[in-house]
Homo-oligomer: A and B are copies of this chain.
Amino acid sequence: MKIAVCQFNPIIGDLKGNSNKILEGYLRAVNEGADLAIFPELFLCGYPPLDLVEKKEFRDAVKITAEEIASHTTGTGLIFGSITEDFEFSVGTGVYNSAVLCYDGKIQFIQNKSLIPNYDVFDEVRYFEPANNVSIFEFKGERLGISICEDIWNDADYWKHRRYLVDPIQKLVDEKASILINISASPYAYGKRKEKYNMLSVLTRDDKTPLVYACCVGTQTELIFDGGSMCFNSSGILEMLGKTFEEDFFIYDTGKQYDEIKNIEDSFEVEVLNALVLGLKDYAYKTGFNKALIGLSGGIDSAIVAYIAVRAFGAKNVHVVLMPSKYSSEGSVKDSEELIQRLGISAENISIQPVVDKTLEMLESAFKGLSEDITEENLQSRIRGLYLMSLSNKHKFLLCTTGNKSEIATGYATLYGDMCGALAVIGDVYKTQIYKIASYINSKVEIIPKEIMNKAPSAELRPNQTDQDSLPPYELLDKILKMYLEEQKEFKEISDSIGDPDVVRKVLRLVDLNEFKRKQSAPVLRVSTKAFGYGRRFPIVQGWRK
């Protein structure tokens, strides 16, 4: 069977745009002689639709649009993801996350999702009931075993700890599926594509059934979908792999033999840069921005964000502002100017000092008798935020937030200051990883000036300040953070590994205490298995200490 995989990029809620994409992909599949065209999970409404699913008018419009799409089909099959409703059972939401199969002008079969994920960034139990039934659908001489995303993530042969009692794929295999089809929308994290490959390779080999796994691509605010749709033969060999971080269309013929694909995932630096470029670009596209603004501090974080913005928007659409104060080192300005020239972007330099001085003058009597403290540091950062937001408002720039994951974790950032912005581009990337990415960027030709790479990280908010006045060295800090956040290790295990309980306690405490700042942060582009934001939910006010 010739199956066209339509790895496209939907906009959540944009039924007209998404259905046009479905019809375009279907038409191309028909023209290229495919038997069946498939689209990712919930493609018609976009994933994740969140509380839109609770709107009856939205669900009704989805239903009408799905039927309209089906009315255009001929003998070639079409499978797309959509929400569907079934109120046969009088309890629960009555709404399902479904694969809709149509041909000959109508919807012929609906397979609902069986396993409803409700962890990390997933809240699907909030909206969807699990399938009451899983069954084979016979089409053009093949026994199609259709499933949706999470359905394929509960293989008893692969997972030591399973989340669910049932295994819908096993049932499809037991019922002698000749081809497995999974439509998916699985958010990107570095390392996950390799994991999918390993899992699906074991599954197809053990079950001796080929699999077509259709993935989503594009950004939905903080979630990046990386494409990389996969087709396995019945021996667990990966025979086709969709493009990563861009749309793709290809036809997989289950009757043909292909060369094995072994290169699944690129290096961390390449992958994460590609992910962030797509993340920023697609967020801007979907919100109607075409120009980016970055406050350039002379440090490595804003340099990397400027580089990413250039890849996302093109150099002529990236504008940066230098906002020196009396604490800014001469190097900061010089290094920034070098970077600006190398990137070919536009820039201006507006000192914050006169506004800092004027503000402090106005607040003088309110501050009387109190010594300088963090207030004066935050104030500088907030005046930079004021400048940036004013330029963003006036020129319709998308303001990129430049905080990294190490800073966001420890609260080493000023609320309404350097935290201002629409999107935290590198908010899921640790400082030490930023250096690695910068080295990669510079590997062929130096783009990020080496002075920026080599200087000690500093917020430059008081004389001779460095980040390490307040934080442990980044090598140590990031090691602790990674264990605590991504690996979900806890105090004892981290202390045993690091050997310094006091510093571990201090870091964990900073992470816990700064939940209030993160509540008010810009959305963070997710590239790890545990990003700040939607998938990590801690009480802002809590007293747990270890």
Contact = CB atoms under 8 A, between A and B. Distances in A.
Contacts of A546: 57, 61
B366 A221 contact: no
A441 interface: no
B378 A389 contact: yes
Interface residues of A, number: 93
B58 A544 contact: yes
Nearest to A414: B389
A359 B488 CA distance: 45
Contact of A126 (B118, B362, B367, B544): B118
A119 to B, nearest CB: 6
A370 B394 CA distance: 8
Copies, count: 2
Q: Which one of A365, A490, A538 has the highest number of Cβ atoms from chain B below 10 Å of its Cβ?
A: A538
A51 B56 CA distance: 31
A498 interface: no
Interface string A81-95: 000000001111000
Given A366-B394, A389-B382, A12 B52 contact: no
A389 B539 CA distance: 23
B375 A394 contact: yes
B390 A359 contact: yes
Contacts of A89: 165
A543 B12 contact: yes
A485 to B, nearest CB: 11
A15 interface: yes
Interface string A443-458: 0000000000000000
B541 A11 contact: yes
9 contacts: A13-B539, A13-B542, A52-B538, A55-B490, A92-B165, A125-B125, A354-B358, A355-B355, A416-B420
Closest 3 CB pairs of A and B: A13-B544, A14-B543, A13-B542
